[in-house]
Amino acid sequence: MKKIYLDNAATTPIDKIVLEAMKPYFSEKYGNTMSLHSFGQEAKLAVEKSRAILASMINAKPNEIIFTSSATESNNAALKGVVFNKKSGHIVISSIEHPCVIESAKWLEKQGFEITKLPVDKFGMVNPNDVKKSIKENTILVSVMHASNEIGTIQPIEEIGKICRNAGVYFHTDASQSFGKELIDVNKMNIDLLTASSHKIYGPKGVGLLYIRNGIKIEPLLHGGGQENGMRGSTINVAGIVGFAKAAEICKKEMKKENKRLITLRSKLIKEVLKIKNSRLNGHPAKRLANNANLSFDFIEGESLLMQLDMEGIACSTGSACSSFKLEPSHVLLALGLKPEQAHGSLRVSLGRWTTKKDIERIIKVLPKIIKKIRAISPFK
Amino acid sequence: MKTNNNTCGGLYTEKVMKTFKNPHNYGKIKNADGIGKVGNVNCGDVMQLYIKITKNKKGEEVIKDIKFETFGCVAAISTSSIITDLAKGKTIKEALKITKDNVIKSLGGLPSIKYHCSVLAVDALVEAIYDYFLKNNHKISADIQKKHDNIEKSKEIIEKRYKNWA
């Protein structure tokens, strides 16, 4: 049985071209970027070249990019870093942010900062007017993600950025799911801080970046040996960064063609799956990531669905309470206005570079059978 | 269906996965003698057990047939299936002695976060027997009455939640 991976929003395999680009930086070009000798400078050169490539992805300057270990770290650094040098103030986030933003905000609330969580509409969209209304005299930062990891909805960040700019408030966006997949221009979109991650775009795990607009001061989370202009202490992950840049380069080159291909496959999937009775699409019908389909099926529970699919060799994800370790359904689906039992029966299918038409045809064929089987066991029909 | 040894990252034992893949005794019993409906308020799982009762040669009441319907996760479906296996053919007196630990042991273990699924299965059985007692004007012991009263509380909340589906 061929295994089919449809969980690319969780992580992606490393592209073989990326892996080849990384290989020399493990045991040949292994220098520490902080060393002044040729070994160090060779590594330093590779990192700076990568920094320039990644900066160009979002129309930023190379010195506005710092490397981190993950999107989680970047988001933590953005929120805590911006507000740390102030004793009090107000932070605005959306209610559908990734847990690393929500939990950072919660922690800051405990430290005395004020938090506003913006609602979303039934498609998971933040209303820019709500952002405008939420900004107060003491507001320091607004953080709204570019695209949702769960439902794929793409936010009107250009409008939100403009509102923040006019109000003199910093605007951060978590672009973990959109970087390399959607066009981003930090100047056009008035973005002050941006998070991106390598392993979502066929690069290695353990590498992220934070864009910080020149002139913005943030307090570092990690104090150390002066790396990243003193913004983040830690020996530089050279191979990882080289891989991240190579992965981004490929994405940029393929973006237009790849999105078109993915949308065709994804639309076919949604169209066919919605023929199943009592099913629905979560997220925005049009303004969504090309590779994301989030579907709900009444009367069944997501973990059962996930594991039945896995037995058929198909890997997906769910927002069900049962699959989480908190026994609560996805906060994103609840924010859309879904009832807990509907969030219970959700399935996220996220396509990737190597998803084929055959793969999609297979899940279209298997899904109705599995749902029928689980519904046969369910007391609700 | 093809076999797969995935145990959900070691969360579940092989017995749990085997039971989930091929659950026993699912469906409805028409004209059931007792029906037990229970739900877990926190996770939202819902379980229904149907029992058919006959008398053995000694005149004791025996669970002749038992079936389940469950809305829930891998653990909930597995504990449902196991409780039907454990209770089938037992006298009511014996069936009431089945504990959550019997259920967990029969599945080769459950992760602690899923213990409530084994409680749900035992509760469903108690409720089905209580329903049978009620319908047949049986004397209900204080112990069973107390169990029923506790289960009833969470059931009300769950029923409200799923009223559009039932």
Co-location of A279 and A168 in the same domain = no
Partner A contacted by B20 (CB < 8 A) = yes
What pLDDT sits at residue B161? Answer: 81
Co-location of A224 and A294 in the same domain = no
Co-location of A143 and A40 in the same domain = yes
Cβ-based neighbour number of residue A151 at 10 Å: 27
What pLDDT sits at residue B42? Answer: 73
- Are the C-beta atoms of A343 and A333 separated by less than 8 Å? yes
What pLDDT sits at residue A325? Answer: 67
Co-location of A228 and A310 in the same domain = no
Q: What is the C-alpha to C-alpha distance for residues A114 and A110, in angstroms, rounded to an integer?
A: 9
Q: Is the ipTM of this complex over 0.85?
A: yes
Co-location of A204 and A236 in the same domain = yes
Partner A contacted by B73 (CB < 8 A) = yes
| Residues of A whose CB is below 8 A from B26 | 376-377
| Residue of chain B whose Cα is closest to the Cα of A345 | B72
Co-location of A134 and A182 in the same domain = yes
| Out of B2, B75, B113, closest to residue A311 by CB | B2
Report whether pLDDT(B1) > 50. Answer: no
Partner B contacted by A334 (CB < 8 A) = no
Q: How far is B152 from chain A (nearest CA, A)?
A: 18
| Residue of chain A whose Cα is closest to the Cα of B72 | A301
| Out of A325, A377, A380, closest to residue B77 by CB | A377
What pLDDT sits at residue B2? Answer: 41
CATH, domain range B14-156:
3.90.1010.10
DSSP, res A215: T
Co-location of A232 and A299 in the same domain = no
Interface probe for A, chosen from B46, B48, B161, B165 (most Cβ of A below 10 Å), is B165
| Residues of B whose CB is below 8 A from A342 | none
Q: What is the C-alpha to C-alpha distance for residues A305 and A300, in angstroms, rounded to an integer?
A: 8
Co-location of A270 and A242 in the same domain = no
| Residues of B whose CB is below 8 A from A341 | 44, 161-162, 165
What pLDDT sits at residue B65? Answer: 98
Report whether pLDDT(B134) > 90. Answer: yes
Interface probe for A, chosen from B43, B74, B80, B114 (most Cβ of A below 10 Å), is B43
What pLDDT sits at residue B163? Answer: 80
Co-location of A34 and A105 in the same domain = yes
Residue A242: give its domain's CATH number.
3.40.640.10
Residue A287: give its domain's CATH number.
3.90.1150.10
Q: A100, A164, A251, A322: which one is catalytic?
A: A322
Range of the domain at A76: 16-250
Co-location of A85 and A176 in the same domain = yes
Partner A contacted by B27 (CB < 8 A) = yes
Q: How far is B136 from chain A (nearest CA, A)?
A: 25
| Residue of chain B whose Cα is closest to the Cα of A341 | B44
What pLDDT sits at residue A43? Answer: 98
Report whether pLDDT(B76) > 70. Answer: yes
pTM of the model: 0.93
Partner B contacted by A215 (CB < 8 A) = no
Q: How many domains does chain A have?
A: 2
Determine whether A322 is an active site residue: yes
What pLDDT sits at residue B3? Answer: 45
Pairwise CB contact (< 8 Å): B76 & A322: yes
Report whether pLDDT(B166) > 70. Answer: no
| Out of B6, B46, B161, closest to residue A379 by CB | B46
- Are the C-beta atoms of B21 and A371 separated by less than 8 Å? no
What pLDDT sits at residue A103? Answer: 96
| Residue of chain B whose Cα is closest to the Cα of A278 | B165
Pairwise CB contact (< 8 Å): A322 & B69: no
Cα distances (Å, whole numbers) of residue B53 to B47, B59, B128: 20, 12, 11
C-alpha closest to that of A75 among A189, A213, A190, A172: A172
What pLDDT sits at residue B49? Answer: 97
Angle of helix A238-273 relative to helix A38-57, nearest 10 degrees, comes to: 30
What pLDDT sits at residue A381? Answer: 78
Partner B contacted by A1 (CB < 8 A) = yes
Pairwise CB contact (< 8 Å): A311 & B26: no
Angle of helix B74-87 relative to helix B14-21, nearest 10 degrees, comes to: 80
| Residues of A whose CB is below 8 A from B70 | 377-379
- Are the C-beta atoms of B72 and A304 separated by less than 8 Å? yes
Domain boundary among A219, A250, A281: A250
pLDDT digits (tens, 9 = 90+) for B11-44: 899 999 999 999 999 999 999 999 999 988 777 8
Task: Per residue of chain A (381 residues), give pLDDT as tens.
Answer: 899 999 999 999 999 999 999 999 999 999 999 999 999 999 999 999 999 999 999 999 999 999 999 999 999 999 999 998 788 999 999 999 999 999 999 999 999 999 999 999 999 999 999 999 999 999 999 999 999 999 999 999 999 999 999 999 999 999 999 999 999 999 999 999 999 999 999 999 999 999 999 999 999 999 999 999 999 999 999 999 999 999 999 999 999 999 999 999 999 999 999 999 999 999 999 999 999 999 999 999 999 999 999 999 999 999 886 766 667 789 999 999 998 888 888 999 999 999 999 999 999 999 999 999 999 999 987
What pLDDT sits at residue A165? Answer: 98
